[in-house]
Amino acid sequence: GENVEQHPSTLSVQEGDSAVIKCTYSDSASNYFPWYKQELGKRPQLIIDIRSNVGEKKDQRIAVTLNKTAKHFSLHITETQPEDSAVYFCAASKGGSTLGRLYFGRGTQLTVWP
Amino acid sequence: SAVISQKPSRDICQRGTSLTIQCQVDSQVTMMFWYRQQPGQSLTLIATANQGSEATYESGFVIDKFPISRPNLTFSTLTVSNMSPEDSSIYLCSAYTSFQETQYFGPGTRLLVL
């Protein structure tokens, strides 16, 4: 099965700095890579995703990059704000009819200090 | 976006008993899934809830322990059978819509087994 590794497990940054979270996956058939943000006591919320035919995707302060050759993908958050503090999970899926079968990384606790 | 609700939101149960969790989506969705999130941990896929047929279970999860039903395109149940304290966790329902190509999560059911 798919194995997703995520680093770092915790990340502290000053407000306004950038944060980068990295993930690797094992199954070369995976082609859908979403990122979820989970605040304490709440459900995971999709913040951005990328498919294997795209190398980079941006949405305002958030960007995701994908390197299929190396089997890794990263989340970049610029100009961080205290409200970005949460646990971030990366995930991988083979897409198509199995797109919803997500395999998650262990999560990164991001803390943004004002 | 799909709105997902779960019942109950939380419960405290005695070991050896069973609990059925309900998941309701406000619109027809392509696929529904059940995940488990142990305290402070990542999300683990339990099974894919197939409409009108037996669920597809991931490695380490079996139908006798986690029977799942999906009678229609908007509703699914997960039963946690013969519970032990190790089953204490958050159980999340998720739904995937092929139209939006996005997966949404329910609010989760917090289960404590004594």
| pLDDT, tens digit, 9 for 90 and up, residues B2-59 | 799 999 999 999 999 999 999 999 988 888 999 999 988 999 999 999 888 889 999 9
Q: Which residues have CB under 8 Å from A13's CB, separation 6+?
A: A19, A80, A110, A111, A112, A113
Burial grade of B30 (CB within 10 A; 0-12, 13-18, 19 or more): middle
> B112 forms bridges with which residues in the sheet?
B12
- Is residue B100 less than 8 Å (CB to CB) from chain A? no
Name the residue among A102, A58, A48, A99 with its Cα closest to residue B101: A99
A90 burial type by CB count under 10 A (0-12 exposed, 13-18 middle, 19+ buried): buried
Please calculate the CA angle B55-B56-B57 and round it to the nearest 5 degrees. 110
Question: Is A35's Cβ below 8 Å from some Cβ in B?
Answer: no
Which pLDDT tens digits describe chain A residue by residue (114 residues)? 789 999 999 999 999 999 999 999 999 999 899 999 999 999 999 999 998 778 999 999 999 999 999 999 999 999 999 999 999 999 999 876 666 789 999 999 999 999
Restricting to A residues 54-73, those with a Cβ less than 8 Å away from any Cβ of B are none
Query: Is B10 within 8 Å of chain A by CB?
Result: no
The residues with which A38 forms a beta bridge, in sequence order, are: A87
Most confident listed range (B28-32, B95-99, B110-114):
B110-114
- Mind telling me how many Å the CA of A57 is from chain B's nearest CA? 16
Task: Report the residue of chain B nearest A41, measured CA to CA.
Answer: B107
